[in-house]
């Protein structure tokens, strides 16, 4: 069971949250090539290790935020708000 620290509500169990997939995806320009669009729509980093991802506190405040989480150990490394850049490696949320 993940215990996820919501930036607004504090630490809550994973059942209160919804996973929103990889964060920091940038929508291509409307006239971008098909390959570029396909990469944006479908391809994902899906790393074995630190993953930067979006979560929504759906059964709490309803706010979206970002986590840096290790996908092997499930350790949460950093919590940061939408729109903020990826934290540097080793930085604490």
Q: 70 — phi, psi (to 5°)?
A: -80, 125
Pairing of strands 64-70, 76-80: antiparallel
Does residue 29 belong to the site contacting another protein (CB under 8 A)? no
| φ and ψ at residue 40, rounded to 5 degrees | -65, -45
73 contact partners, CB below 8 Å, separation of at least 6: none
Mask: binding to another protein, 33-72, rule CB under 8 A, as x and -?
A: -xx-xxx-xxxxxxxx--x-x-----------------xx
Closer to another protein at the Cβ: 53 or 63? 53
- Residues lying near another protein in the complex (CB under 8 A) are found at 1-2, 13-15, 19, 21-22, 34-35, 37-39, 41-48, 51, 53, 71-74
């Amino acid at each position: 069971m993940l215990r996820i620290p919501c930036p607004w509500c504090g630490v809550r169990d994973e059942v209160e949250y919804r996973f929103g997939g990889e964060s920091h995806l940038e929508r291509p320009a409307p006239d971008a090539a098909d390959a570029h669009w396909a990469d944006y729509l479908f391809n994902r980093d899906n790393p074995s290790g630190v993953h930067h991802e979006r979560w929504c506190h759906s059964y709490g405040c309803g706010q979206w935020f970002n986590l840096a989480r290790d996908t092997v150990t499930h350790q949460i490394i950093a919590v940061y708000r939408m729109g903020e850049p990826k934290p540097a490696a080793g930085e604490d949320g």
